[in-house]
Amino acid sequence: MTEPQRTRAVFASEDFQLIRTAVLHYLKEVGAKPEAVKFANLYHRLGRIV
């Protein structure tokens, strides 16, 4: 029987800050549209990672 392969991180730590910056930019573009709430929540969750 073979050992299961170890999982590797998909994103580097610095990637989360880049993604968070991109989400913030998008939030400014969408303004008060309904989907903005989901992106605002994502922005705050990413802040907990960084």
Residue 26: predicted pLDDT: 96
Find how far residue 21's CA is from the centre of its chain: 9
Residues 4-49 have pLDDT tens digits of 888 888 899 899 999 999 999 999 999 899 999 999 999 999 999 8
Counting Cβ atoms within 10 Å, is residue 42 exposed (0-12), middle (13-18) or buried (19+)?
A: middle
| pLDDT band of 50, cuts 50, 70, 90 | low
Residue 24: predicted pLDDT: 96
Residue 20: predicted pLDDT: 96
The whole model's pTM is what? 0.75
Residue 18: predicted pLDDT: 95
Q: Which amino acid is at 33?
A: K
19 CB-near residues (< 8 Å, 6+ apart) = 11, 46
